[in-house]
Each structure stands twice: as structure tokens, then as C-alpha cells.
Chain A
Amino acid sequence: GAVVSQHPSWVICKSGTSVKIECRSLDFQATTMFWYRQFPKQSLMLMATSNEGSKATYEQGVEKDKFLINHASLTLSTLTVTSAHPEDSSFYICSARDGQRTYEQYFGPGTRLTVT
């Protein structure tokens, strides 16, 4: 099956610093990738949709200047949390759609971000 990796799997950073999270599709080309945030015992909240070679589409209420998304290639998308604050601490999950299978999306293992 299709595999999506995320790096790092967990990260602790100080308030005010920036953190970059990578999402890679390992064995397929992903024209579209999604970034979600999940707080404990809550559902996945879509933050943005990332399309290769174009600007990401952000959901309402998500600050595009704070959560920078770059989809530089068909296998890599990055999310950078800039000037992180403790309230940004969350589980960040990416997913990718295989262009040949239109309905299914494959999730990465997630990144646990803790801002101190």
C-alpha cells in the first residue's frame, strides 16, 4: 500500500522559535497533500490543502503567515510553525492523495509538537 512518512515524529521547542515538519509520499506521487491538527480527544481539523507547485489553500481561521506550507515536489510537503506558542502544541498529521486513486488518502504517522 501507499506509504506516507513524517519527520520528525515528535519535537519540543521553545516559545518564539520555528519548527519545520516534513511529509513525504514514499512510493507514489501526491499532487495533493493535506495538513491536519488534532488536539487530545478531538477530531482531525483540516488546516490547509497543499497542491504541488501552487500556493496552499488554508481553512478559515488558520493563519497562513504562522503556518507556512510548501509543496515543492510531488513527494514532499512541509509545514513550518513560525513563532511557536504553547497553544500550538498539538498532534500534526499530514495525508496525501494518490492521483490514480481518487478517493483514498493516506496518512502519515503524525508529529507531536510541544512548545514550552
Chain B
Amino acid sequence: EAQVTQNPRYLITVTGKKLTVTCSQNMNHEYMSWYRQDPGLGLRQIYYSMNVEVTDKGDVPEGYKVSRKEKRNFPLILESPSPNQTSLYFCASSSRTGTSNQPQHFGDGTRLSIL
């Protein structure tokens, strides 16, 4: 089954304790991306990656890091989490665009609470 898998689904942690949210896709997609969703703000893009070892900042990259060492994985790293990073996070992937009309496939989301 084609899917984007995020782990963990829920996490409560404390300020300053480094954490990683993993994202893996099994569709051989080139493009992967992270978003955060906050009430009243919609989804905002954090980082995206068009290929292995290529990452770009989205609209809200501050406080986050990503890496793309393999095509299927795109982890989101919070080196020193703060309460304002409490949010619902989504990972998404899609095939390379150009003439492709494929939309992004989204994972089930990770609800992060930072105390």
C-alpha cells in the first residue's frame, strides 16, 4: 500500500530536549516536505526536498532541521524544542513535477506538545 508514515503520532516532551520525527515513503517519490498546522493559520511549509542531499527552507524553517540522506526518508529534527513549536506536523511526498499532475500525499500527522 502506498503511504507516507510518520512516527511518532503523538509526543509530549519538555523544552530543550532534542527530538526527531521520522517520515518515510514507499512510493519512490523525489519530493518530500514538512508542514506544521496551527488553528487559524492553515498549513505552513517548514522545509522541502527535491532530491537526496538537497533541502530548501520553506516559510517557517526557524528552529527546525531536516536531512535527506536517502530518497525514502526525510526526518524533522528539533534540536532545542520550545513551546511555540507545539503543533500538528505533516510530512508529504510527491513524484517529480514538471508535466506530472500528481498531488502531494500526506502522512497521518504528528501531534507535538512541548511543555
Whether both chains belong to one complex is answered with: no
Chain B positions near chain A (C-beta within 8 angstroms) = none
